[in-house]
Amino acid sequence: MTQPNPRYAGGFPKIGIRPIVDRRKLVKAAIGEMTMELAQAAADLITGQIRNPDGTPAEVIVFDTCISGMPEASRCANEFRREGVGVILTVAAGWCYPLETMETDSTLPHAVWGFNGTERPGAVYLAALHAAHNQKGIPAFKIYGRHIQEPDERGIPGDVREKLLRFARAGFAAALLRGKSYLSIGTVSMGIAGCIVDESFYRRYLGMKNAYVDMTEVTRRIEDGIYDPEEFGRALEWTTEYCREGPDPNDERERIAPERKKENWADSVQMALIARDLMIGNPKLAELGFEEEAYGYNAIASGFQGQREWTDHNPSADFLEAILCSSFDWNGVREPYMVATENDNLNAISMLLNHYLSHTAQIFADVRAFWSPEAVERVTGRRPEGIAKQGFLHLINSGPAALDGTGEQTRGGQPVMKPHWEIDAREVEACLAATSWRPTYMDQFAGGGYSTDFTTRGGMPVTMSRLNLVDGLGPVLQLAEGWTVELPPDMHDALDLRTTPTWPTTWFVPNLIPGDPVFDDVYGVMGNWGSNHCAISYGHIGADLITLASVLRIPVNMHNVDQESIFRPSAWSAFGTKDPEDADYRACAAYGPLYK
C-alpha cells in the first residue's frame, strides 16, 4: 500500500555527469566519443548501485555533449540546475583547460574521474583541475585508477569503481538533506543537551530547516480526532493482532487496570499516526476538514520529547518511536522514519546519515554499560567467549529501536537488516513475533504505555555512530564498526536483569585495533563516546560515513576504519599527510560549513 503522502514532494536530487574534452578539432575527434562512453559507463554503474530512499534507481543525467570551454560549461550548469542535480561527477580522458571547464558551485559535492591512460592522460587534466579547485576553495574528490589502461578499454577498474560509488553514496546522501527539515515535538527532555536544537548547525552544515510543535498539539489532535479514522481502525486492528503484549513488570498494586491498558494501546496508535502526519502531512486530513493540519513540516527526521511533561500523564512514546522507525507497519513495508526518543536531535541526524547510506532502519540506543570479562565472570560465574571475550557494550533504550533490529530478516541464512524494498511478509512477521510489548515501569512512565522488548541476534556487522556538538569546535562525528553478539541465555538473563529488561538489548563488540588510543580495547570505546546515546546501522558503513562527513565539512574524531578505505577531497592532503585526523580537522575548519 502506498504511503499517505510522499516524503519527497519535490522529487529526489539527481546526479549529473560532465564529460570533458579538449576543444582542438583533432583531439576532440580522437577522444570525444571515448569520453562520452566513459561518462555513460559511470552513469550505468551509479544507476545500478545507488538508490533513492524509495528503492528506485537514482537518476543520472549525462550532459549531452562534451564540455570544452566556458559556453558548454555554463549551459551544463544551467541544465543541471533546472533538473535538480545535487551531485556532480566530471569525467575526462585527456587534457582540457581547467579554469574554462570547471563547475564552481561550491555547495554541490563534486568528484573528478581522470582516465589513467598514457596516450592522452586524463590524469594531467585531473591534477590541474584539482589544483584549480583547491586554489579557489572548492574541494573536490580525485578519482584515478592505480593501473594504466589501454585506450580502447571502457570497463571501470575495481579501485575506480569503489571510489565512484563511495563518492556517489555520500554526495547523494548530502543532497537528500538539502531543503528538508527536522521537527521537534516538544523541547528538552530531562536536561539532555542533545535535545537542544542548534539552528545554525542545521542551516550551515546540512542545508536543513527546523520546525517546532508543542506536545499539546498531539493532545489536541487526539482529543479532537484529527487523524484518519479509517486508518486508525485498521492500525489498531493490526496492532492488536501482531503486537504481542508481554508480562507486566510492575508490582501488582502499581499496575494499570486492564481497561486503561486497552485505552493506552489506542492512544499509542493515535500518537504514531499524529507524529507521522506532523512530519510529512496527510491529504486525508484536508478531506476531513482539517486543511491546515494536512500540511506537515516536510520533515525527514523528528524527535519526541516525552519525558517528563508528557509521560507523567500520558502513555509513553515508545510505540510511536519504535513502529515509525521500523520498515513496516499496518500499511505494509515502507521506508522507515527517523524519530528520536527524548527529542535527541543529534542522534536523529546520526540515524538519518546512517539511513541514507545504508537504506536500512536504525537502532537508537543508550550506551548503557561496558561489561568487562572480569565483571561478567563475577556476576555469572564464567567469562564470555568468542568475539565477546574482551568484553562488550550493552546498548539499550526504551523507544526507537526499530523492530528490524531483532535481526529476524535474513540473507543467505544469516541475520541482517535489509532495505525496505527487500523485506518480505514472512520477515515482517518474524520481527513482530520476536518482539514483546511490555507495560512500562510506572516509576519511570507514570502514564503507562508499552516498550519494545527483544534481543538483537548476533553475527550482524553494524556501525555505531554519533554526531556531537562541541563549543569552540562545532560538529564532530564518531563511529565504531563492529558486530552484534549473542550471549548464552543464562548469561544474557543475568546481565539484562540488572538494568531494564523490558527494553530491547543489543550486545555490541567493536572491531579492535591493537595499540590504538581508543580501539585497543572495548572500554576505550565506552570511555571516549561523546554522549549517552548512539545510532546503530546495519553494515560496516564507516568509510562511507567518513566520506559524507568530509562533504559536510564535519571532522571525524574517532573511528576504526582502515586508512586505505578513507576517501576525502584531494585538498585534505594539503593539510598534512602524516596525520589524517589532524588534517581532517584543519581542512574542515579552513573550508567551513558546506552552506556557509
Q: How far apart are CA 180 and CA 183, in angstroms?
A: 10
Residue 118 confidence (pLDDT): 60
Environment class of residue 153 by beta-carbon count within 10 Å: exposed (0-12), middle (13-18) or buried (19+)?
middle
Residue 346 confidence (pLDDT): 98
For residue 278, which of 5, 9, 11 has the smallest C-alpha distance?
A: 5
- Do 126 and 142 meet the contact criterion of CB atoms below 8 Å apart? yes
Residue 26 confidence (pLDDT): 83
Lookup: cell for 209: 530547516
Counts of helices then strands in the chain (DSSP H, E)? 18, 22
Lookup result for grid cell 536543513: 208
- Do 448 and 84 meet the contact criterion of CB atoms below 8 Å apart? no
CA 388 → CA 370, 454, 511, distances in Å?
11, 20, 11
CB atoms within 10 A of CB 229: 11
Residue 49 confidence (pLDDT): 97
Q: How far apart are CA 191 and CA 138, in angstroms?
A: 39
Lookup result for grid cell 595499540: 515
Q: How far apart are the first and last CA of the chain?
A: 41
CA 266 → CA 77, 229, 273, 405, distances in Å?
52, 12, 11, 24
**pLDDT tens, position by position, for the chain (596 residues)?**
344 446 888 899 999 999 999 988 888 887 889 999 999 999 999 999 999 999 999 999 999 999 999 999 999 999 999 999 999 999 998 888 999 999 999 999 999 998 877 666 778 888 999 999 999 999 999 999 887 777 777 789 999 999 999 999 999 999 999 999 999 999 999 999 999 999 999 999 999 999 999 999 999 999 999 999 999 999 999 999 999 999 999 999 999 999 999 999 999 999 999 999 999 999 999 999 999 999 999 999 999 999 999 999 999 999 999 999 999 999 999 999 999 999 999 999 999 999 999 999 999 999 999 999 999 999 999 999 999 999 999 999 977 799 999 999 999 999 999 999 999 999 999 999 999 999 999 998 999 999 999 999 999 999 999 999 999 999 999 999 999 999 999 999 999 999 999 999 999 999 999 999 999 999 999 999 999 999 999 999 999 999 999 999 999 999 999 999 999 999 999 999 999 999 999 999 999 999 98
Lookup result for grid cell 566519443: 33
Residue 228 is assigned to a ligand binding site: no
Residue 27 confidence (pLDDT): 81
Query: What region does 343 belong to: left with phi over 0, alpha with psi -120 to 50, or beta?
Result: left
Q: How far is CA 39 from the centre of its chain?
A: 29
For residue 268, which of 306, 211, 298, 309 has the smallest C-alpha distance?
A: 306
CB atoms within 10 A of CB 501: 15
Partners of 184 in the β-ladder:
212, 303
Lookup: cell for 348: 536523529
Residue 313 is assigned to a ligand binding site: no
For residue 318, which of 220, 438, 498 has the smallest C-alpha distance?
A: 438
Q: How far apart are CA 322 and CA 269, in angstroms?
A: 11
Q: How far apart are CA 330 and CA 266, in angstroms?
A: 14
Residue 476 confidence (pLDDT): 98
Alpha helices in 434-538 (DSSP H): 489-496, 522-528
- Do 427 and 376 meet the contact criterion of CB atoms below 8 Å apart? no
3-state secondary structure of 385: coil
Lookup result for grid cell 546512517: 354
CB atoms within 10 A of CB 415: 18
| 468 Cβ neighbours under 8 A, 6+ residues apart | 346, 475, 476, 477, 478, 530, 531
Q: How far apart are CA 257 and CA 532, in angstroms?
A: 34
283 φ, ψ (degrees, to nearest 5): -55, -25
- Do 495 and 393 meet the contact criterion of CB atoms below 8 Å apart? no
CA 42 → CA 48, 91, 124, 156, 548, distances in Å?
10, 9, 20, 8, 20
pTM listed for this prediction: 0.96
Kindly list the catalytic residues.
342, 366
Give the chain's domains with CATH numbers.
6-177 (3.40.50.1070), 181-591 (3.20.14.10)
- Do 504 and 455 meet the contact criterion of CB atoms below 8 Å apart? yes
Residue 533 is assigned to a ligand binding site: yes
505 φ, ψ (degrees, to nearest 5): -115, 135
AA letter at 218: V
- Do 406 and 456 meet the contact criterion of CB atoms below 8 Å apart? yes
Residue 6 confidence (pLDDT): 66
